[in-house]
Amino acid sequence: MTGSLPSILLVGFGKMGGAMFAGWRERGVAASLAIDPALPAPPGPELTVLADAAAIPADFAPAAVVLAVKPQNAATSLPQVARFAGRAVFLSIMAGRSLAGMRGLLGAEAAIVRAMPNTPAAIRQGITVACAGPGVTPAQRTLCDSLLAAIGSVAWVDDESLIDPVTAVSGGGPAYVFLLAELLERAAVEQGIPPDLARALARQTVAGSGALLAASAEDAAVLRRAVTSPKGTTERALAVLMAEDAWPALISRAIDAATRRSRELAG
């Protein structure tokens, strides 16, 4: 092993798989393999890309197999790497796919950690919640923690059912924040602000507010109230956004819808 991380088999090299490998490479990862027929060239000398699992050398012994394919492809992709069950820990970032469902595809010996990261992993600012399944050893859990810590913060839960609402809140959360920036930009243009300035205002307001929230020990509600002067412009806007049928109800409905969809994907 070179660096701080052992050899990894990465199944799927999409945006999240690529972000994860970039984080591992920064920490020093031993020679690893990725399976992705759509990836034209490896991103660095540490990684060899194969078109399918049949091309994996017989002597390749990864410490972890990271499952980063779309959940709809699990039934096809997972049996192809089932031979590593009992030897490597499986770390899944597939939305909705349950531990039991994955064991059904990988075999009863499979030690699996189910995790849900989010896209700020691309700049090492993600947050991942993970749950260890039956048979995962302390050393395997520590390895998975190290792999996930390379892309941001990591939290662990014992109750697997929590991964579904986590998927809805933080897994999909960046999309909701980006939607806010999109709508702020559109509304600014509607009020006559030039498009370039509207975009700069929306993006920096969202990014700066996020940075302030991250740096502050105050509750988000306290920070919100600090911006809201009595009888001022912000108070007038919040009266619309916080109406009974507006953001409070819509956010709850949205998270519930995403949570239910995560459970529907379970296999």
CA angle 64, 12, 263 (to 5 degrees): 90
| Predicted local distance difference test score (pLDDT) of residue 21 | 93
| Predicted local distance difference test score (pLDDT) of residue 36 | 86
| Predicted local distance difference test score (pLDDT) of residue 3 | 60
| Predicted local distance difference test score (pLDDT) of residue 32 | 94
| Predicted local distance difference test score (pLDDT) of residue 40 | 61
Going by C-alpha positions, the residue among 249, 250, 19, 30 that lies closest to residue 151 is: 19
| Predicted local distance difference test score (pLDDT) of residue 123 | 95
Return the H-helix or E-strand segment holding 103. helix 99-106
Q: Dihedrals φ, ψ of 197, to 5°?
A: -70, -40
Low-confidence ranges of the chain (pLDDT < 70): 1-3, 39-43, 267
CB–CB of 68/16 below 8 Å?
Answer: yes
85 Cα distance to chain centroid: 24
Indicate the burial class of 209 (C-beta count within 10 angstroms; 0-12, 13-18, 19 or more): middle
CB–CB of 24/43 below 8 Å?
Answer: no
Indicate the burial class of 118 (C-beta count within 10 angstroms; 0-12, 13-18, 19 or more): buried
226 Cα distance to chain centroid: 31
| Predicted local distance difference test score (pLDDT) of residue 2 | 46
What confidence tens digit (pLDDT) does each residue in 118-153 have?
Answer: 999 999 999 999 999 999 999 999 999 999 999 999
What domains can you pick out in the chain, each with its CATH number?
Answer: 8-163 (3.40.50.720), 173-264 (1.10.3730.10)
